């Protein structure tokens, strides 16, 4: 199926975009209006865009029914400051409640049962229950359209970072497993970054992976190995030495797999890959 976005309704287009581009982190944005009234609202059109300077970007889209602006957008235009609070699993239901279309001036801290804490450098308060909060000044707001569904890119410069100490590891770095974050999917679905759902992939930052194209054809065309398996193998800098291949060849499980055929040998290599033994797996395949 191929679609032209210009021929879709706003609702249908939003459904395709928000379901396919996921999971998305959630900016739980606290702002104030010109009269000092507080607003708290979540936005999943959100991410980090720069390290130096530290820039976070989120986008309050205009209401689909009438193209009107949400309170958060009006507030950052009037008072260019925002606190972006990070959402984790213990607070996700309260966060969702604050997305209710309450009347302008209603304090969602109160409606959601959250605790406001004074910020140091900006006027909006931060959420005490959030594991990490970023106080930001708003550099600028870029309107991406005028009608319903149009985004407004809020470019927010981080001026203070507040971190719950219990979210740090022994080295003082943020611990992903302790953060227990959630992310927005399509429809009513969320994604929970629990320890059971996390997995590691070695980053090719200090090494130069040889690439899938450098693997022998019988490995690239394997009926057993997956694309992920090939990607892991291609992340190795070079083919293993003959010495390693010979040592692997002598292992009893390798000899048994060789006698049973190529498919079994590849399945054994796949098992090694799952155990993180990439070079040994490649030696088995050779």
Q: Which domains does the chain carry?
A: 5-197 (2.30.110.10), 212-285 (no CATH)
pLDDT confidence band for 20 (50 / 70 / 90)? very high
pLDDT over 90 percentage in the chain: 90
pLDDT digits (tens, 9 = 90+) for 161-173: 999 999 999 999 9
Residue 66's CB is within 10 A of a number of other CB atoms, namely: 8
Nearest to 57 by CA among 17, 29, 97: 29
**Pairwise pLDDT comparison (148 vs 79), residue with the higher score:** 79
Beta strands in the chain (DSSP E): 27-32, 38-43, 46-50, 55-58, 81-86, 116-117, 126-127, 132-143, 152-163, 182-184, 190-192
State the Cα–Cα distance between residues 222 and 286, nearest whole angstrom: 12
What are residue 127's DSSP bridge partners? Answer: 116
Strand-pair category, 46-50 with 55-58: antiparallel
State the Cα–Cα distance between residues 227 and 250, nearest whole angstrom: 28
* Residue 168 DSSP one-character state: B
pLDDT, average across residues 110-130: 97
CB-based contacts of 278, cutoff 8 Å, min separation 6: 232, 233, 235, 236, 272
State the Cα–Cα distance between residues 267 and 122, nearest whole angstrom: 57
State the Cα–Cα distance between residues 245 and 280, nearest whole angstrom: 8
Q: Is the pLDDT of residue 243 over 80?
A: yes
* pLDDT score for 47: 98
pLDDT confidence band for 203 (50 / 70 / 90)? confident
pLDDT, average across residues 199-216: 85
Helices and strands counted in the chain (H then E): 11, 11
Q: In terms of C-beta density within 10 A (0-12 exposed, 13-18 middle, 19 or more buried), how is residue 27 classed? A: buried
pLDDT, average across residues 44-67: 94
What are residue 161's DSSP bridge partners? Answer: 134
State the Cα–Cα distance between residues 76 and 33, nearest whole angstrom: 8
Q: Is the pLDDT of residue 207 over 80?
A: no
pLDDT, average across residues 142-171: 96
Contact 83, 30 (CB under 8 A): yes
Largest Cα–Cα distance in the chain? 80
pLDDT confidence band for 272 (50 / 70 / 90)? very high
119 CB-side CA count, 13 A: 26
pLDDT confidence band for 5 (50 / 70 / 90)? very high
pLDDT confidence band for 68 (50 / 70 / 90)? confident
* pLDDT score for 112: 96
| DSSP codes, 101-139 | -PPTT--HHHHHTPPEE--SSSSSPEETT-SEEEEEEEE
């Amino acid at each position: 199926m191929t679609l032209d976005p210009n021929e879709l309704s706003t609702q249908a287009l939003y459904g395709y975009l928000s379901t396919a581009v996921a999971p998305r982190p959630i900016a739980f944005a606290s702002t104030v209006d010109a009269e000092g009234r507080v607003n708290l609202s979540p936005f999943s059109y959100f991410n980090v865009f720069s390290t130096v300077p530290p820039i976070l970007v989120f986008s309050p889209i205009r209401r689909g029914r009438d193209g009107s602006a949400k309170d958060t957008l009006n507030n950052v235009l009037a008072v260019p400051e925002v606190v972006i609070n990070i959402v984790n699993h213990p607070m996700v239901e309260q966060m969702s409640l604050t997305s209710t279309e309450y009347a302008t001036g209603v304090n969602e801290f109160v409606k959601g049962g959250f605790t406001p804490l004074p910020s140091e450098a900006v006027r909006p308060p931060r959420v005490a229950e959030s594991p990490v909060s970023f106080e930001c000044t708003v550099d600028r707001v870029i309107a991406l359209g005028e009608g319903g569904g149009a985004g407004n890119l809020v470019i927010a410069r981080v001026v203070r970072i507040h971190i719950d100490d219990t979210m740090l590891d022994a080295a003082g770095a943020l611990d992903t497993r302790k953060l227990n974050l959630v992310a927005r999917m399509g429809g009513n679905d969320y994604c929970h970054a629990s320890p059971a759902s996390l997995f590691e992939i070695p980053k090719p930052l200090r090494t130069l992976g040889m690439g899938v194209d450098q693997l022998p054809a019988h490995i690239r065309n394997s009926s057993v190995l997956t694309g992920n398996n090939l990607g892991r193998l291609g992340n190795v800098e070079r083919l293993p030495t003959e010495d390693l291949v010979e040592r692997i060849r002598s292992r009893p499980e390798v000899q048994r797999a060789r006698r049973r055929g190529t498919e079994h040998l590849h399945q054994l290599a796949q098992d090694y890959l799952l155990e993180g033994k990439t070079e040994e797996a490649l030696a088995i395949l050779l």
